Amino acid sequence: MAAKAGPPATIGVRELAANVHRRGDIHYRYEGVATAAEGIAAQRRAQRGRPESYLREVPVAATVQEHGIALTVRGRIDGLDRAAGVIEEFKTTRADIDGLHGHIGALHWAQLKLYGALAGMESDAPPNWRLKLTYLSPDDPAQRCLEEQAEAGDLAQWLRDAVAAYASQLARHARRVEARNATLRALKFPYPHFRAGQRRLAAAVFRAMRDAGQLLAEAPTGSGKSAATLFGALQAMGHGHLDRLVFATARTTGQRAATDALAACALGKSLAVVTVTAKRRICFNPEMPCDPALCQYAKGYYDRMPMARDELLAAGHVDRAAVEAAARRHVVCPFELSVDTAAWADVVVCDYNYVFDPVVRLMRLVGAPFKRAGLLVDEAHQLGERAREMLSVSLRATALQRARADAPPPLHKPLGAVGRALSQLRRDHAGGAVDAPKALLRAVERLVVAGADVDLERRSGLRDLLFECHRFARGGTWFTQEDYGYLLHVEAGEVEARMACLSPARHIAATLAGFHGAVRFSGTASPLALFQRLHGQAEAGHAMRSGGGIPPDALGVFVAADVSTHYRRRAETLPAVAHLIAAAARAAPGPYLAALPSFEYLEAVAGCLVDLAPGPIDVQQRGMSEAEKGDFIARLSSRGAARIGLVTLGGVFAESVDFGGGALKGVVVVGPGLAPRSPERDLIARRFGADGFDAAYRLPAMTRVVQAAGRAVRGPADRGVVVLVDPRFAQAGYRAYFPSHWRPITAPARDLGAAIGTFWRA
């Protein structure tokens, strides 16, 4: 008896071919060697002069039922001539064509045969087809054409076989999803009770995912926002409103919060969760390019990957250690394995890059079989700055100089051309905003072309430069006059040409719109309206504040408005700052954190504090190792021990880190840490008009201030103090960034110790 057809599914020809027919190696030389825009331009050039019967970009589709699944396969044929019986597929590349065809030609032919099968289903189709696979270069009018003859019946069987293989995978996935959703519908909140505000936040997340909405939520530190947002999203998935969930984080600490909250749900193997670790951190051979001749984990990757992937999916929760263990067992690249496993996982936990970066984002986060993917963006206060940096590209003279030492003779001329173009730009401009550097862009593009065939083994300087040049060239494809600007930075012997993103709002909005629903959440999202504008949601997005978290009497916030930390007055007020930090630390024994805007200021305060502090002083150093960072955190996580840690605002110890679950007695923030005036930030300010100073200077500074202050009290059972040192913290423009649960008290510096002592005695 034939199986009953399940719900219809749709897949593109390219995706079907890749799922069923991809075999062989990973090779850096043949991945992403031309942009889509370059491919379109080269294809149009190659198609000039074709006969009238030759049609371009012809849509084709057919539905085939296999394994109880009706699968619709869709595609767009590059070139179709029914009269001549010709189907043509174009591939644009800067790589060696013979090498590319040897590496991935079988996949190209598989795709072309699928197009032939779809075209052959039309009533006027010829019985035989001439299949043409044409390779083009974006920089050369020459082309290479390979041909095969194929009968329509054979092509139809090729399509049925491909659909059967993929439908079998879909059927297994559908059975797993059905069981998963039943488990999720029965899921209870993973903790004994909701904290104040958690139920409201979870309900808002559920509605956003159900209704394909956009939500920005501010939830205080200690309110359990990660657990609440995940619970709401998982409930939406269980009730059939979502196919999968993507949890994007700004730091690895955020990934741990997400995976801990998921582990608390105790779903076991019912939910496939994959954490994607950055390639540079998980690669087994980080000093080698992805070349099968050099790396055993790249050779034959696609032959062995499916078994490793299915093994991980069956395991349920997959962290970095599980990925590495499976990769070693099956001898496959751990990073690519995590990405290929994530393509079929229910929940993907990853860095912002893999969602928002136009060069490295994972395209398979949304698509078959996960058309309705929900997105959770943790630490959303960082999204604007991170996205702006992802969209900005730079080329530095020092990188060019390092590359010259590594470069083989074929690259000497194009490297010299880039150097001359950069030098000419330096001669023409003292620095600041410049027009689009067309000569430099042309030279960079030629260098990228020339570097496509160069062996990069043991040429780290050249490899870094070519990556920088690749991004610099790609940046031109997303440049607009309104949201970007070119600048020249000249300082201390360094010359840097930079395409700076002035506003990431359109890009963020477009990325969020690609998901079925998106929720951005943070403990620091005030003012909500400004963050909405920065994220491109000023018109369409919904924003809310969730209560709960820290009880009003658990946190004392004090402002010392009579001690200036302006740069020109720092030497004068240095003793007062040191006395303030010591007074706060003496008010109640325990570890304290003091956050300052720069290492220079930090070191100066440390020198004054030596004879005043009630206990040892730990000073953050530049370039600390992971072990040194761990020791630093451990020393400040000892409850009751009188100790002061001096750190930089916005650094690793002032954001997204937990000192012993609320061990800190307090945090002293010395100054708002406004960035120095710069041409780039001034351009950002002009881009945002009335909100310009806030967008360019005050928002990033105050976000770091509030994040540092958030280290003091981490949960509803904790108590602590925050001391803000500077007159600006008493001004309305700065207080607009204070979290809604703060109740600041302004006190003269001389009375601050007594005021803090009163708080502790209350």
pLDDT of residue 7: 55
**Residue 179 forms part of a structural domain:** no
pLDDT of residue 451: 82
- How many whole angstroms separate alpha carbon 157 and alpha carbon 143? 31
- How many whole angstroms separate alpha carbon 718 and alpha carbon 662? 6
- How many whole angstroms separate alpha carbon 78 and alpha carbon 76? 6
Quick one: 75 and 134 in the same domain?
Answer: yes
What amino acid occupies position 511? T
Quick one: 443 and 586 in the same domain?
Answer: no
pLDDT of residue 5: 42
pLDDT at 453 over 50: yes
- How many whole angstroms separate alpha carbon 471 and alpha carbon 107? 27
pLDDT of residue 33: 57
Quick one: 270 and 409 in the same domain?
Answer: no
259-300 residue pLDDT tens: 888 988 888 889 999 999 988 889 998 877 788 888 999 999
Q: What is the CATH number of the domain that holds 747?
A: 3.40.50.300
Nearest to 138 by CA among 32, 56, 39, 36: 39
**Residue 347 forms part of a structural domain:** yes
pLDDT at 1 over 50: no
Quick one: 278 and 219 in the same domain?
Answer: yes
Q: How many domains does the chain have?
A: 4
**Residue 134 forms part of a structural domain:** yes
Segment 320-348 mean pLDDT: 95
Quick one: 563 and 675 in the same domain?
Answer: yes
Segment 371-386 mean pLDDT: 94
Segment 403-425 mean pLDDT: 92
Quick one: 284 and 202 in the same domain?
Answer: yes
306-317 residue pLDDT tens: 999 999 999 988
- How many whole angstroms separate alpha carbon 492 and alpha carbon 489? 10
- How many whole angstroms separate alpha carbon 469 and alpha carbon 442? 11
Quick one: 352 and 495 in the same domain?
Answer: no
- What DSSP assignment string belongs to 299-350? TTHHHHHHHHHHHHHHHSEE-HHHHHHHHHHHT--HHHHHHHHHTT-SEEEE
pLDDT at 8 over 80: no
Of 254-268, 307-321, 393-407, the range with the lowest mean pLDDT is 254-268
- How many whole angstroms separate alpha carbon 607 and alpha carbon 599? 12
- How many whole angstroms separate alpha carbon 609 and alpha carbon 540? 50
Q: What is the CATH number of the domain that holds 126?
A: 3.90.320.10
Host domain of residue 223: 192-389+505-545
pLDDT of residue 549: 65
pLDDT at 113 over 60: yes
**Residue 182 forms part of a structural domain:** no
**Residue 598 forms part of a structural domain:** yes
11-48 residue pLDDT tens: 999 999 999 999 999 887 676 556 677 778 888 888 88
Segment 608-636 mean pLDDT: 93
Segment 161-165 mean pLDDT: 95
Quick one: 558 and 570 in the same domain?
Answer: yes
Segment 333-341 mean pLDDT: 94
- Selected residue with higher pLDDT from 688 and 552: 688
Segment 452-475 mean pLDDT: 84
Percent of the chain at pLDDT exceeding 70: 98
Quick one: 728 and 618 in the same domain?
Answer: yes
- Selected residue with higher pLDDT from 215 and 139: 215
Of 61-70, 94-103, 144-153, the range with the lowest mean pLDDT is 94-103
Q: Is the separation of the CB atoms in 720 and 742 below 8 Å?
A: no
pLDDT of residue 459: 82
Segment 242-256 mean pLDDT: 89
**Residue 184 forms part of a structural domain:** no
- Selected residue with higher pLDDT from 701 and 550: 701
Quick one: 335 and 476 in the same domain?
Answer: no
> How sure is the predictor about 456, in pLDDT bands with cuts at 50, 70 and 90?
confident
**Residue 277 forms part of a structural domain:** yes
pLDDT of residue 31: 66
> How sure is the predictor about 4, in pLDDT bands with cuts at 50, 70 and 90?
very low
**Residue 675 forms part of a structural domain:** yes
The residue out of 545, 576, 599 marking a domain boundary is: 545
Quick one: 515 and 655 in the same domain?
Answer: no
Quick one: 511 and 401 in the same domain?
Answer: no
Indicate the helix (H) or strand (E) that contains 414: helix 412-428
649-673 residue pLDDT tens: 988 898 878 888 778 999 999 999 9
Segment 735-752 mean pLDDT: 92
The mean pLDDT value of the chain amounts to 90
pLDDT at 743 over 70: yes
Q: What is the CATH number of the domain that holds 488?
A: 1.10.275.40
With H, G, I as helix, E, B as strand and everything else as coil, classify residue 727.
helix
- How many whole angstroms separate alpha carbon 2 and alpha carbon 667? 68
**CA dihedral (329, 332, 333, 336) positive or negative:** negative
- How many whole angstroms separate alpha carbon 410 and alpha carbon 455? 11
Percent of the chain at pLDDT exceeding 90: 66
